[in-house]
Structure 1
Amino acid sequence: MDIKNYPLLRVNYKRLEVDNKNYIFHVPSSSVFELCEDSHRVLNKLENKEDLNSDEKEIFNEFMSLNLVGNQFKEKDVKVQKFPAKALVLNVTSGCNLSCTYCYKEDLTSLKNRGNMTMQMAKDAIDLFYNESPDLKNYSITFFGGEPLSNLTLIKQIIEYANDFFGSKGVNIGYALTTNGTLLTKDIIEYFFKNRVDLTVSIDGPEVLHNKTRVFGNGKGTYKSVVKNLSTLLKVYGDRIVPARVTLTRGVSDVLKIWDHLKNDLGFKEIGFAPVSSGENDFFNLSPQEQIKVFEEFKILGNHYVQNAINGKLNGFSNIHRTMMDIHEGRKKRLPCGAGVGLLSVSYKGDIDLCHRFTGSDFKSFGSIKDGLDKKSLSNFLEKRANEKNSDCQSCHARYLCAGGCYHENYIKNKTPEIKGHQYCDTLREWIDFVVASYVKIREKNPSFFDKFLTNKGVKSKIF
């Protein structure tokens, strides 16, 4: 069988070997396929440009159906005309009682000089939010700042209003809030628990690491203030997960040490790490050596995740869990996240921003609560990003799991979020390969893990 007219499309698959079995990661569907002996032999022939036998035609045709050989399917341009937002971020204040040295928020001020959102602004934002997507069954509101707890009175008013607003329409409303933990009290914690507010605590590890960057305005470390409130928080929330969010910066990058402290000493059940590699102040960016070390330690925690999963447990390492979910559901992302589509962010002044990271920045807003959502401008932005053709991403096997990286990181690095980023592509590809292999190990040894801890969709995975 002559294969000269059927080029092999290496950009659409990535080989991997796990436990002496051969697999491919199918890029167009973010799915994993195990290769039987015959399929493995045919793929080897195609890669070596060898002719096939007639009895190998069936396998060749299946490769064609997967777009592994033949002409590359042309991606249809994405059209973004609707904005079915189910998540609203309300930046209730620009003030914070901390002066964290790496903070990216450009509108951040002290509590004395802060700007606070008004209740009328919040009501109008909720009305606009709902009117943009009135047919959903579940909605969420996230309170952000500054430190949102410094405007607790408004948060309580919003919750009371939103409970009535969404309840009258027979739909669900949930809440989330990220806090530095220093202003928590038992009464606040119990109020949030009663009102279904999911809390995330920003904490960067043991005292000596945390206090390097997370400080009060007078320069004093905040660790003791945070930890003092944690035991009450974790006790009241019980089985409800309270994630820890860790920012990894230069000098604060010992992932394993941080994990051990937060997990085993403080009792967090879920921990996520945010490596800083493209901050505006290079002083806080992880060095190249630290980036390598961070991802090597991510793999150690990833192996721990796999062993727990095989034993039917979830270890709470959210960095691998999120990517594992993308693979399990076969996600094919043309945009890196739901910002601007499934999520709207509103500043305390009423500006509608791409996400909370852009609030207060020099990057343009997409309308306001007063004037409405600028759908034309937002569509143009999202379509330009989703349909970009002239980048190295087109040949990357991680392209549909990464989609070019975080808008805000690209904005900091490239001065615009419209250009896909290339901050640490090689490292990210290596991490994706690791997660795919981890997915295979779990699927082979304990497939019930996915139904229990991820979703029930599953990927189109099979042996062929």
Structure 2
Amino acid sequence: MAAGLFPSPSLWHHFQFRHLHYLVDGETGVVYSLDEAAAAAWQMAEGPASPSPPLALVERFGRKEAATAWREVLALRTRSCSRRHPSPGSDSPPITLGPAASAGFRIGTPLKALCLLVAMECNLACRYCFAAPDWQRHGERRMSQEVARRAIDLLMEASGRSSALQIDFFGGEPTLNWEVVTDVTGYAASRAAAAGKRINFTLTTNGLLWNEEIASFLNFYHFQVIFSLDGRPEIHDRFRRRLGGQMSHAAVLRNVRQAVQQLVDGDYWIRGTFTRENLDFTADVEYLLDQGFRRISLEPVVAVPGPDAPWALRDEDLPRLLSEYDRLAELYLRKAREGDPFEFFHFRLAPPSGPCVARRISGCGAGYQYLAVTPEGDLYPCHQFVGREAYRMGSIFDPGIEQSLSPTPTGDGSCGHLLSERFRRAHALGKPECRNCWARLYCGGGCHANADLLGGDMLGTVPLFCELQKKRVELSIALREACGTG
């Protein structure tokens, strides 16, 4: 067998979790479970291939087992493995777009979701808040009923034949503008029903204003609710204080506990942020579990390292962060085996599946499938881009905005909006650093807003966040296998 069996070596990835070995084919998303002999053979199979197993493999495993493992590894390298154990979703066909074609490929998905920033103000003063600089510059604002309803009209008109839509209520603190939340929810539900579409709602809140009225309304419209709670009291109160500097943890915890009991669908997430000051964030997950919560997401803080943000993550934190994710995975597995499972958002990563290229290479859809609307009606690619004027996409009141945001009927995915067109091309095959990454089908190219903020280029990547994402993909694959889920 000649050399060159492995034309894209970076698209294959071998990793180990506990005593188990896994191999990911980054071109198809297929995951293989390897025994010790096959894992060792894979690591030895570099350069020109020989039909006979290496002596080191024979000495370690014996001639028969070594020969079997070697044949299987050679078969894997020619994509015809005879003994493979794919995980759920592994029957995905490969992506056939080559690097030359991929740079010009555009995603033709229409607008499907809006993030309504109904209140650019808050009753907390979180130190790491990415939204606060906007209202510190421009003042606190609340969205009017007129703007909110016009945003829904835009969504209905620009979504084309898409039948599943979404509205996210965000801020600031959206419950500060509760009257508009309730009005536009009813308006959106009515318009969607009349058009034969289904619309889902989410609300992100710190929980301080939670009451029976809010619970009843959200239950009626089957909202998913995301509660902001960082974990241990000393961690939460270090960053998430009230406007006057008072602690907020006790009140937030009390209200969120009550809220979770009141949500009849049980559709919630506890969403926290970890920083350089709590790299031991598994302890925060354990704390949240002790409070009775079972759907948890802890996100790395996004901030530029420097004197103004000493809590920002740095490259030198990576080894500690990777080991902490391992520690969290052990907790996840132990709880599952004890019959007390919980969900961790980044460990429930769905395997890439289906033949649709766009679905498998795109991330969140910011800039074309998902847009953020400010209180004035300005459009941005997502809530994190708000205030970055280079990314302002116009206004919901601009004549013809619906048409310019919509893919052309020619079927090539292009649209009349230049910035939206740029985002349609900003996928995993369009970013140079992503094209040969094994995790590209799980990641979709990463967060454009993070790349712009931390690297100065939305088409770039942030190495620290790439490594964290790849670690989470590894662990989600391994835990899916270990827990028998998928």
TM-score (norm 1): 0.82
Residue 276, structure 1, aligned to residue 301, structure 2: yes
Q: 2:331 maps to which residue?
A: 304
Question: Higher mean Cα deviation, 149-158 or 33-42?
Answer: 33-42
Q: Partner letter of residue 258 of structure 2? A: T
Match 1:408 to one of 449, 464, 484: 449
Matched, 1:344 2:371: yes
- Cα deviation 1:219-261 (Å, max 9, x = unaligned): 1121122123223212211551321111112324431321122
After TM superposition, the structure 1 = structure 2 runs for residues 157-172 of structure 1, keeping only pairs within 5 Å, are 157-172=183-198
Counterpart Cα distance in 2 of 1:148 and 1:93 = 5
Is the contact between residue 106 and residue 359 of structure 1 (CA under 8 Å) also seen in structure 2?
Answer: no
Does structure 1 conserve the Cα–Cα contact (< 8 Å) formed by 2:363 and 2:427? no
Q: Are the counterparts in 2 of residues 202 and 245 from structure 1 also a CA contact under 8 Å? A: yes
Matched, 1:396 2:467: no
Tell me how far apart the structure 1 counterparts of residues 21 and 232 of structure 2 sit (CA, whole Å): 42
Indicate the RMSD between aligned Cα atoms, in angstroms.
3.4
Aligned ranges 1:133-212 → 2 under 5 Å: 133-212=159-238
Asked whether the 8 Å contact 2:226–2:268 carries over to 1, the reply is yes
Are residue 366 (structure 1) and residue 393 (structure 2) matched? yes
The SS at the match of 1:345 is: strand
- Summarize the Cα distance change of 1:230–1:51 in structure 2 as closer, same or farther, 3 Å threshold: closer
Moved more, 180-189 or 8-17: 8-17
- Displacement after TM superposition at 1:404 (Å): 4.0
The letter for the 1-side match of 2:290 is N
Pair 1:241-2:240 in alignment: no
By how many angstroms is 1:157 displaced? 0.6
SS class of match (1:435): helix
**What is the CA-CA distance between 1:14 and the residue it aligns to?**
1.6
Which of 98, 101, 112 is the matching residue for 1:74? 98
SS at structure 2 position matched to 1:96 = coil
- The separation in 2 between residues aligned to 1:271 and 1:175, in whole angstroms, is 19
Distance 1:96 1:366 in 2: 25
Map of 1:258-277 to 2, 5 A cutoff?
258-265=284-291, 267-276=292-301
* Number of residue equivalences: 434
- Cα displacement (A) at 1:187: 1.8
Instruction: Between 288-297 and 417-426, report the one with greater CA deviation.
Output: 288-297
Unaligned runs of 5+ in 2: 53-67, 82-95, 406-415
In structure 2, C-alpha distance between the alignment counterparts of 1:165 and 1:410, rounded to whole Å:
36
Correspondence for 1:455: none
Using the TM superposition, give the Cα deviation of residue 291 of structure 1 relative to its aligned residue in structure 2, in angstroms. Answer: 4.7
Match of 2:31 in 1: 32
Taking the aligned partners of 2:39 and 2:246, their CA distance within structure 1 comes to 61
Contact 2:15 2:23 (8 Å CA) reproduced: yes
Residue 113 of structure 1, CA deviation: 4.4
The answer to whether residue 158 in structure 2 is matched with residue 132 in structure 1 is yes
Query: 2:167·2:199 contact (CA, 8 Å) conserved in 1?
Result: yes
SS at 2:272 equivalent = strand
Alpha-carbon offset, residue 149 of structure 1? 0.5
Give the Cα separation in 2 of the matches to 1:16 and 1:172: 41
- Give the equivalent residue in structure 1 for 2:84: none
Q: Secondary structure at the match of 2:425?
A: helix
* Letter of the structure 1 residue corresponding to residue 268 of structure 2: V
Deviates more, 1:74-83 or 1:338-347: 74-83
AA aligned opposite 2:475: F
Q: Deviations over 1:368-412 (max 9, x none)?
A: 211214623311243155554643x34432233234431121121
Percent of matched pairs sharing the same residue: 24
Contact preservation (8 Å) 1:42, 1:60: no
Of 452, 463, 470, which residue of structure 2 is paired with 1:422? 463
Q: Taking structure 1 as reference, are residues 119 and 31 closer, same or farther at Cα in structure 2, changes over 3 Å only? A: same
Q: What is the distance in 2 between the residues matched to 1:386 and 1:50? A: 31
Q: Matches of 1:345 and 1:376 in 2, distance apart?
A: 17
* CA positional deviation for 1:426: 4.1
Cα 1:279/1:180, change in 2 over 3 Å:
farther
Letter in 2 for 1:255: F
Match of 1:120 in 2: 146
Partner of 2:277: helix, strand, or coil?
coil
Query: Residue 89 of structure 1: SS of its match in structure 2?
Result: strand
Shift of 1:358: 1.2
> Which shifted more, 150-159 or 26-35?
26-35
In structure 1, runs of 5+ residues without a counterpart are 451-464
Cα 1:272–1:328, aligned 2, differ >3 Å: closer, same or farther? farther
Contact 1:11 1:395 in 2 (8 A): yes
| Cα distance in 2, alignment partners of residues 314 and 390 from structure 1 | 39
Per-residue CA distance 1:171-205 (angstroms, 9 max, x = gap): 22221100011111122222212221221110112
Displacement of 1:136 in angstroms is: 2.4
CA pair 82-228 structure 1, distance change in 2 beyond 3 A = same
SS at match of 1:348: coil
- For 2:241 and 2:35, the matched residues in 1 are separated by 57
Deviations 1:419-460 (A, max 9, x none): 222234445444433333333333xxx3xx32xxxxxxxxxx
Any idea what SS the aligned residue of 2:172 has?
A: coil
Q: Is the 8 A contact 1:42 1:52 kept in 2?
A: no
Query: 1:26 deviation in Å?
Result: 0.7
1:89–1:142 contact (8 Å) kept in structure 2 = yes
Aligned to 1:10: 9
SS at match of 2:310: helix
Sort the Cα spacing of 1:41 and 1:178 in 2 relative to 1 into closer, same or farther, 3 A: closer
